[in-house]
Structure 1
Amino acid sequence: MTTPLHGQMMDVPLAVSSLLAHASRYFGTTEIVSKRVEGDVHRYTYRDCERRAKQLAQALIALGVEAGDRIGTLAWNGYRHLETYYGTTGFGAVCHTINPRLFPEQIAYIVNHADDSYVLFDLTFAPLVDMLAPQCPNVRGWIAMTDEAHRPRMSTDASCYEALLTEMDGQFDWPLIDERSASNLCYTSGTTGNPKGALYSHRSTVLHALGASLPDAMGLSARDSVLPVVPMFHVNAWGIPHGAPLTGAKLVFPGKDLDGKSLYELMEAERVTCSAGVPTVWLGLLNYVREAGVRFSSLERTIIGGSACPPAMLRMFKDDYGVEAIHGWGMTEMSPLGTLARLNWEQMQRSPDKQRRLLEKQGHVIYGVDMKIVGDGGRELPWDGVAFGDLHVRGPWVIDRYFRHDTSPLVDGWFATGDVATIDRDGFMRITDRSKDLIKSGCEWISSIDIENVAVAHPAVAEAACIACAHPKWTERPLLVVVKRPDSDVTQDELRGFYEGKVAKWWIPDDVVFVDELPHTATGKLHKLKLREQFGDYILPSARKVQNCPLTDEVTAGSGSTPVPE
């Protein structure tokens, strides 16, 4: 057997710390601007950020944190959160970003399942930490991400972030790390039952940052001022905290204020050229600029993902404000980027209508992702824009298995996304449905099964089914359809009140409808398809309240239901 001829190149590991080290060395004076929870605006540079990230690494090591230990965060987008991204992974620990919007019991489950050694938190979440601490006995310490002057009064014994850093000198060299070792941990709530963890490696994270920064992906550049509205607890803010240092882009963090006015004023003040977030956020921003009669002076493009973007939003950004709106798709299991809707040279020569139809889809894969659609028996389906099947993906930043799960979810080496899609001859993918009965409210998932389980626990409920109804602001909201027990009675308000304390408030169904019976399949399962057909024209009371929204008709029409009247 012939011995392969190996290349004679340096074997330098792809470490997350190299991204910040690069930014510090070659873009050291580039700004990182943050609206702080404390109420002011903080400014410093990449060079400052690396020094403080090294101080954090020293502080954690002094606390006994070792390589492989998980460090949780409950924090908004800001400079201290960015320091945590690198101050943990830089010496081999794992940065575990936690979604604070989940129900406290879910958060406690995630912290315990991850076995977090320490959890760092913003001031906003001090009351939440007081609730979590008794449920998380293995957490060795809680660290408030503030200074002594703003240290919150809590029942939990919490350390002060700035005090810990002050004790360290920052004279620290990032160690060489095996690029296949774990770097970041994110849990997905896009599943029934308990959340599942996606454990990324240094190699996958750096490759994802490179792929996300390509010109036909996010196109990040040292000429950009980037504002990630997508939270850093949402799949690493789609890779922007890694891609911006890689390219030397200026970073602008919005903190907790994500309303249209706050975002617009920050964009204008910091000359933001690129942003990224979910449709709900952009709806608020567009409504603000329209009502205030203002325009964007610097914004060039925005990436829209997390849920399907209504075509009217894409058009409004482009036609009314000259901003390129880039439709994207991905998953926690994919780190998360998979596709982005950007045209090539040939496609740009087509008519405006044909271009628009392409841009309304979820888009074309970026290098590093391969995808296919399969039908019955795993048969691969043609890319004709008509055939639809289960969407499967693979690539160096796609998970092989979930954290602490023995079995792999892969099918012949491919990850089944749970989405149903078409792919056209141009390679543009369009999501047509979801194979699971999950409800996506804004950028968050709601489990219909969990909603149903709470309902049937009520003594007056015999059977219940939860389905998604179109909503002009949130894209989807839950509708609960209920069969009462004989000789029992319960009102809509009583049943909705029954959810208090059992699920997150935003999980509570918007409306309850009582019926005599629910449709079932031949095997006795709830027939959700028939139920959705039955209530396809149903308009939620909360949807009726949305007024003066020019996107209303198309948001709802885009979701496959009857448009909500203004």
Structure 2
Amino acid sequence: MTGHAQTLRPFLSRAAQLYPDRELVARTATGTVRYTYAEYADRVGRLASALRDAGIGRGDHVATMCWNHDRHAEAYYAVPNLGAALHTINPLLPADDVRTIVAEAADKLLVVDASLAGALTEAYDPDAFESVEQAVVVGGEASGLPFDAVDIDAFVAGHDPDPDYPELAGDDPAGLCYSSGTTGDPKGVRYTQRMLWSHTMAILTPAGLDISHHDTVMPVVPMFHINAWGLPYAATAAGAAQVYPGPSPDPADLVTLIEDEGVTLTAGVPTVWLGVLDYLQEHDADLSALDRIVVGGAAPPERLIRAFDDRGVEVVHGWGMTETAPVGAVSHCKPELRDADYETQLEKRLKQGLILPGLEFRVVDDDGDEVPHDGETMGELLVRGPWVTTSYYGRDDDESFEGSWLRTGDVVTVDGSGYVELVDRAADVINSGGEWISSQAVENVIMDDERVREAAVVGVPHDRWGERPVAYVVTDADDHEALIDAAGERVRESYPDWWMPDRFEFVDRLPKTATGKFDKVGLRARFEGSLDGSVDADPPDGD
């Protein structure tokens, strides 16, 4: 016999029953919203009833274009509890991409923040949005929307807080998320109830993010980006308090919320926490409640981990992708490292970490043969498991899948202890003279200089070597030559001389993708022609 269906619904009902007075707090454009899990379940029920009366049912897609706030959190349960899929749209995507994914998803209803109405209107095309029957507006009036639009308070008013939810199965839909489209058209991943249930259970564990009812969780990673790394579901399942930072929080906003609400766990990309560090250098703050920061999307610079360690805050490094719902690995120190010195532990913590329980992985070369786990031999990471997709929504993409295995496109090494280290995305590895250079590794070395705010390294054409690295750097320092010399010393301490960038370009800001990562496609496009100069140490000739 099998157990009852693995769905998201019991996470919320348990929280409301066992932790009715635990709070959810949201910073919004109009002030702070605060309510309990008992009230949260009531509000989720009213929204679900309103959606059902608007014609939403099993298999439908409800899109959201919203920031991290209470209304978005309500949709996270109200939509899947009906057997529909919550399609979170990244409002920072180009208008063409928004049109593409709305058309492919055939969204039936759209929930949009009033502050994002302009982005929605810009993306509107009558053919692409033909399926959208209604828009529900959050946080104010949105004039000029090309839909039948209603304010969310009016939308839910008078509806039953205890709807007659349909019976659901693990294979029923729960979510839909599209990749950023930086290496091609955006690709959609449709998550089932079982996929998100399994992912939630995995990240609750100590091998995952170790979330419990003792925590107060603040997702800074956007809720429109891969389910805010699963934190809204996991925090609810654990009965943890939740804090949502609202639209465009700056470092001062984040620090204030950590202090005022006693945040113990937060998560976001490294650039967010580098900004917080800059703020903390100029302002006093009490971070005594904060236990750990989960970092993903890019590897954290070493100085970031050291700086927060000095403040008693652990930086937990994780890896994942849209296709893995998203967390696939987390870097924790294994028992044999418990008594190791700080530098040895730090070396492991900087890696993407250990594959989560429930997942399987392989690392293979170009011929499909597994590579040794020696910490040096590179290969492509393949993963499979209950929360890893085996296809893209609405399309066939056989190149990305080998049966149940997902080809991640990530080039990695695995050391003898099983720690995965991301060398680079396959598209971003620099092939110089037949040998690989990790753009990510060089970036991290450059960003270990506290004078450097951001750095991105890309490969550009070279007459002799095929490709050579060029670094784009954001800094307030005036002495660029001294900064380059310091970067060169650090690069050569850890890597071959020929990994040193041939050129440094100093810029006011780096372009970002819609998910906050460096836009390397755009940076490569900036460099016209090819490099023809020599470097201090020639790359080895490839065989």
Bin of the TM-score, shorter chain as denominator length: 0.7 to 0.9
Task: Report the secondary structure of 1:129's partner residue.
Answer: helix
The code of the aligned residue for 2:347 comes to R
Output aligned runs, 1:70-469, within 5 Å.
Answer: 70-135=61-126, 136-146=129-139, 150-156=140-146, 157-189=148-180, 191-319=182-310, 321-408=311-398, 409-437=400-428
Q: Is the 8 A contact 2:259 2:285 kept in 1?
A: no
Paired position in structure 2 for 1:511: none
Q: Does 1:18 align with 2:10?
A: yes
Paired position in structure 2 for 1:56: 47
The code of the aligned residue for 2:91 comes to P
Question: CA 1:53–1:474 in 2, change beyond 3 Å: closer, same or farther?
Answer: farther
Q: CA deviation at 1:176?
A: 1.7
Question: CA 1:539–1:424 in 2, change beyond 3 Å: closer, same or farther?
Answer: closer
Aligned equivalents of 1:100, 1:292: Cα separation in 2: 32
The code of the aligned residue for 1:81 comes to H
Deviation sequence 1:219-267 (CA, Å, 0-9, x none):
1110011111001111001100100011000000000132111100111
Task: Report the secondary structure of 2:318's partner residue.
Answer: strand
Output aligned runs, 1:528-547, within 5 Å.
Answer: 530-531=466-467, 533=468, 536=469, 538-540=470-472, 543-545=474-476
Which shows bigger deviation, 284-293 or 409-418?
409-418
Q: CA deviation at 1:412?
A: 4.6
Q: Is the 8 A contact 1:123 1:152 kept in 2?
A: yes
Runs of 5+ consecutive residues of structure 1 not aligned to the other structure = 1-6, 440-466, 482-517, 521-526
Q: CA deviation at 1:476?
A: 2.6
Q: CA deviation at 1:174?
A: 2.9
Q: CA deviation at 1:543?
A: 2.1
The code of the aligned residue for 1:245 comes to T
Runs of 5+ consecutive residues of structure 2 not aligned to the other structure = 431-438, 507-543
The code of the aligned residue for 1:13 comes to A
Deviation sequence 1:131-159 (CA, Å, 0-9, x none):
2333423211111023xxx3233343411
Aligned equivalents of 2:366, 2:397: Cα separation in 1: 23
Aligned equivalents of 1:228, 1:140: Cα separation in 2: 31
Question: CA 1:70–1:155 in 2, change beyond 3 Å: closer, same or farther?
Answer: closer
Once superposed, which parts of structure 1, at least 4 consecutive aligned residues long, lie more than 6 Å away?
Answer: 551-556, 563-566
Paired position in structure 1 for 2:456: 476
Q: CA deviation at 1:539?
A: 4.6
Q: CA deviation at 1:546?
A: 6.5
Task: Report the secondary structure of 1:137's partner residue.
Answer: coil
Aligned equivalents of 1:114, 1:229: Cα separation in 2: 26
Aligned equivalents of 1:357, 1:171: Cα separation in 2: 51
Q: CA deviation at 1:478?
A: 7.0
Q: CA deviation at 1:425?
A: 1.2
Task: Report the secondary structure of 1:116's partner residue.
Answer: coil
Q: CA deviation at 1:91?
A: 1.0
Q: Is the 8 A contact 2:453 2:475 kept in 1?
A: no
Aligned equivalents of 2:471, 2:372: Cα separation in 1: 36
Which shows bigger deviation, 224-233 or 341-350?
341-350
Question: CA 1:554–1:238 in 2, change beyond 3 Å: closer, same or farther?
Answer: farther
The code of the aligned residue for 1:476 comes to A
Aligned equivalents of 1:211, 1:350: Cα separation in 2: 27
- The RMSD of aligned alpha carbons is 2.9
The code of the aligned residue for 2:50 comes to A
Paired position in structure 1 for 2:531: none
1:37 to 16, 26, 29: 29
